[in-house]
Amino acid sequence: MKNIVARAVELVGGPTRATVLTGFSAAQIYNWRDQGFVKDAAACCLLAEASGLPVQELAGLVRSGPDGRWIKSTATSCDGVISDSESDEPLNPLAGATACAA
């Protein structure tokens, strides 16, 4: 199953269209795809808006626990290694996420 970044890139028309949309290089688009989340907040919002996919999921967050809080996913990247930045620590919802829809 493809990760959400790969799906978003497909939905916006491929890596070239994603580079034009976000202003980032194709290499960076591929890096985000391989990592499974978009690190840049603005690019994350742009991809979410253009693809119709949830910005929180593109940012690497998942709903967890009884209260449904967004937490950083512990999903591994394509190489199967969990990076140091991935943890189960609760995160606040993306404050700028609602700005994408505006």
Mapping DSSP onto H, E and C, the string for 45-76 reads: HHHHHHHCCCHHHHCCEEEECCCCEEEECCCC
The pLDDT mean for the chain works out to 77
Token pair belonging to 81 = 């290694």
Q: What is the pLDDT of residue 74?
A: 58
d(CA 96, CA 69): 17
62 pLDDT higher than 70: yes
Q: What is the pLDDT of residue 90?
A: 46
Q: How much is the average pLDDT of 46-69?
A: 87
Residue spans of the domains in the chain: they are: 4-101
Record: fold of 4-101: 434 Repressor (Amino-terminal Domain) (1.10.260)
Q: Which residues contact 33 (CB under 8 A, 6 or more apart)?
A: 3, 5, 6, 9
pTM over 0.95: no
**75: confidence class by pLDDT, cuts 50, 70, 90:** low
13 pLDDT higher than 60: yes
